[in-house]
């Protein structure tokens, strides 16, 4: 049995208490590694003056955690620069926020080259390598240059942009060339895959076969759609546990009679927080019966806060929250509760279960796991309603949600009004459809289908 080697930007420290706060991806990776043994390789999260040229290796059970520190320059150029100020905004259709420089691009390439060298030192001949996300697009090319002949798969967690947007990236061609060094490229949705294939056909003269095999830049690569999911059973179990505790989360004790609408997002400009708040303000104005009877809880842990674009969205959200509370609050009712911090996983899932509406309205999102978690956290007796952006990858699967266009403020406000009074029968019907899907396609099914496809490439080779 081959060993699995997972590469992701951040590797949760095996020493930390990450087990309480980890998301679905971390759980899926950890389980996959614990089952068959393997390596989890990536950035430690530390910035040091002179990083070592050997990874820090810790073995726990069958898993080897191998982490690398970054220098401040690498962090600025690779992480804050090219990855998060070019690829992240561009791939989320925010061309206006991209800040390309050749220096940052070179830093991104250098870190990928250095990571490839360090990873190479840990590899065995028959290891299967699974690289995650936009931070590491060129990693495979560097491994190949160093003579690595292992099978290497890539999974993109964020959207792939349409050709016209990608063409604005000065190094678009070399980036796609790097993608094509992988044996398997996985996307979240058909939309992302077809955008990628569209570029390959038009810009590279590459050939795309019906079975998803791409022939471009003199190589063959398999492509496919693998929508990421959640540990459905575990999410339901944790949410139920949180709900059955004798002492309900404080959040609910403070608002015993009001209906709760909940949003949970990293504080990121892709998540549509300003538009969401505007839609909620519109609801309070247009449906005055909601005043005093509804509370909107927005949980938004800070993210990438050293970047200007994130500082700006943080100020804008605070100001929008202040504006709504200033306009509508009474001495015993605040319409918005804005919680700019993270919570333990079980607490968070308890909040989702106790909310009548899950409001998930990103302007663009690869998948959005919160949408799936909201559904899995509901009680079958009295499930809440998911109001979901059509621009989240999750909208392709969660057909029982009320789908909205997050730019249509009045439309989102109408959807909220509808969700708040939706009869139990309809809520149950919608929830059943979504739960059926999530039970069948959970995080294990995602992992297995990806690794099977990668195995298929190996067998065919």
As a whole number of angstroms, the distance between CA 394 and CA 242 comes to: 25
The residue count for the chain: 461
- Residue from 157, 231, 282, 414 carrying the catalytic annotation: 157
**34-53 binders of ligand GDG (CB under 6 A):** none
What is the DSSP secondary-structure string of 29-43?
HHHHHHHH-EEEEEE
Token output for 191: 């939309």
Task: Return the range that interacts with ligand GDG (CB under 6 A); candidates 112-120, 135-143, 344-352, 425-433.
Answer: 344-352
**133-162 binders of ligand GDG (CB under 6 A):** 157-158
**251-290 binders of ligand GDG (CB under 6 A):** 264, 266
**355-374 binders of ligand GDG (CB under 6 A):** 365-370, 373
Tell me the closest approach of the beta carbon of residue 349 to ligand GDG, in angstroms. Answer: 8
Rg (CA), the chain: 22
Nearer to ligand GDG, 151 or 345 (CB): 345
Nearer to ligand GDG, 134 or 142 (CB): 134
Report if residue 348 touches ligand GDG, rule: CB under 6 A.
yes
Nearer to ligand GDG, 127 or 192 (CB): 192
Tell me the closest approach of the beta carbon of residue 268 to ligand GDG, in angstroms. Answer: 6
First and final C-alpha spacing in the chain: 17
Site string for ligand GDG, 370-409 (x = CB under 6 A): x--x------------------------------------
365 catalytic? Reply is yes
As a whole number of angstroms, the distance between CA 58 and CA 68 comes to: 12
The upper half-sphere exposure of residue 272, i.e. CA atoms within 13 Å in the direction of its Cβ, equals 27
Report if residue 25 touches ligand GDG, rule: CB under 6 A.
yes
- Strand 4-10 and strand 63-70: the pairing is unpaired
Judged by CB under 6 A, the residue of 65, 91, 182, 343 near ligand GDG is 343
Q: What's the angle, vertex CA 153, arms to CA 150 and CA 158, rounded to 5?
A: 155
Report if residue 301 touches ligand GDG, rule: CB under 6 A.
yes
Token output for 194: 């077809």
- Strand 4-10 and strand 151-155: the pairing is unpaired
135 catalytic? Reply is no
Report if residue 342 touches ligand GDG, rule: CB under 6 A.
yes
As a whole number of angstroms, the distance between CA 432 and CA 427 comes to: 9
Size of the site for ligand GDG (CB under 6 A): 23
Distances 159 to 87, 196, 297, 395 between C-alpha atoms, Å: 10, 10, 27, 13
Q: What's the angle, vertex CA 387, arms to CA 360 and CA 391, rounded to 5?
A: 60
As a whole number of angstroms, the distance between CA 459 and CA 198 comes to: 28
Nearer to ligand GDG, 329 or 445 (CB): 445
Nearer to ligand GDG, 394 or 435 (CB): 394
Judged by CB under 6 A, the residue of 12, 24, 42, 272 near ligand GDG is 24
Token output for 137: 């697009």
As a whole number of angstroms, the distance between CA 353 and CA 376 comes to: 9
- Residue from 69, 231, 265, 365 carrying the catalytic annotation: 365
Tell me the closest approach of the beta carbon of residue 232 to ligand GDG, in angstroms. Answer: 13
Task: Return the range that interacts with ligand GDG (CB under 6 A); candidates 19-27, 98-106, 115-123, 253-261.
Answer: 19-27
Report if residue 307 touches ligand GDG, rule: CB under 6 A.
no
**φ, ψ (nearest 5 deg) of residue 45:** 95, -5
**φ, ψ (nearest 5 deg) of residue 304:** 45, 40
Residues lying near ligand GDG in the complex (CB under 6 A) are found at: 21, 23-25, 157-158, 228, 264, 266, 299, 301, 342-345, 348, 365-370, 373
Active site amino acids: 157, 365
């Amino acid at each position: 049995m081959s060993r699995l080697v997972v590469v992701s930007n951040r590797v949760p420290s095996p020493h930390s208490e990450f087990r309480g706060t980890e998301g679905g991806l971390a759980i899926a990776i950890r389980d996959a590694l614990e089952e068959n043994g393997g390596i989890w390789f990536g950035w430690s999260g530390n910035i040091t003056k002179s990083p070592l040229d050997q990874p820090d290796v810790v073995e726990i059970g069958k898993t080897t955690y191998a982490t690398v520190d970054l220098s401040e320059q690498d962090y600025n150029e690779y992480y804050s620069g090219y990855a998060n100020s070019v690829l992240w905004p561009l791939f989320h259709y925010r061309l206006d926020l991209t800040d390309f420089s050749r220096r940052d691009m070179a830093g991104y390439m250098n870190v990928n080259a250095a990571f490839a060298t360090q990873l190479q030192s840990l590899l065995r001949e028959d290891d299967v390598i699974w690289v995650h996300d936009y931070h590491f697009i060129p990693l495979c090319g560097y491994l190949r240059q160093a003579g690595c002949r292992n099978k290497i798969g890539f999974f993109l967690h964020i959207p792939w942009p349409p050709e016209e947007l990608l063409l604005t990236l000065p190094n678009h061609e070399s980036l796609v060339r790097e993608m094509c060094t992988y044996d398997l490229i996985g996307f979240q949705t058909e939309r992302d895959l077809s955008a990628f294939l569209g570029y390959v056909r038009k810009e590279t003269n590459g050939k795309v076969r019906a079975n998803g095999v791409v022939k471009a830049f003199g190589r063959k690569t398999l492509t496919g759609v693998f929508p990421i999911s959640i540990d459905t059973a575990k999410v339901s179990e944790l949410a139920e546990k949180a709900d059955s505790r004798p002492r309900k989360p404080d959040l609910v004790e403070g608002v015993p009679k009001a209906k709760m609408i909940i949003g949970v997002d990293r504080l990121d400009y892709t998540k549509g927080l300003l538009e969401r708040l505007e839609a909620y303000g519109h609801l309070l104005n247009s449906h005055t019966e909601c005043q005093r009877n509804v509370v909107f809880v927005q949980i938004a842990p800070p993210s990438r806060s050293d970047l200007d674009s994130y500082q700006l969205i943080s100020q804008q959200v605070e100001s929008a929250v202040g504006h709504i509370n200033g306009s509508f609050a009474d001495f015993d009712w605040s319409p918005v509760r804005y919680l700019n911090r993270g919570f333990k996983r079980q607490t968070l899932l308890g909040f989702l279960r106790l909310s009548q509406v899950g409001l998930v309205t990103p302007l663009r999102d690869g998948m959005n796991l919160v949408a799936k978690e909201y559904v899995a956290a509901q009680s079958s007796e009295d499930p809440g309603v998911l109001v979901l952006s059509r621009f989240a990858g999750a909208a392709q699967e969660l057909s029982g949600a009320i789908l909205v266009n997050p730019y249509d403020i009045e439309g989102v406000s109408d959807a909220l009004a509808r969700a708040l009074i939706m009869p139990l029968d309809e809520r149950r019907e919608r929830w059943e459809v979504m739960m059926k899907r999530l039970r069948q396609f959970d995080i294990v099914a995602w992992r297995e289908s990806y690794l099977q496809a990668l195995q298929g490439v190996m067998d065919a080779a």
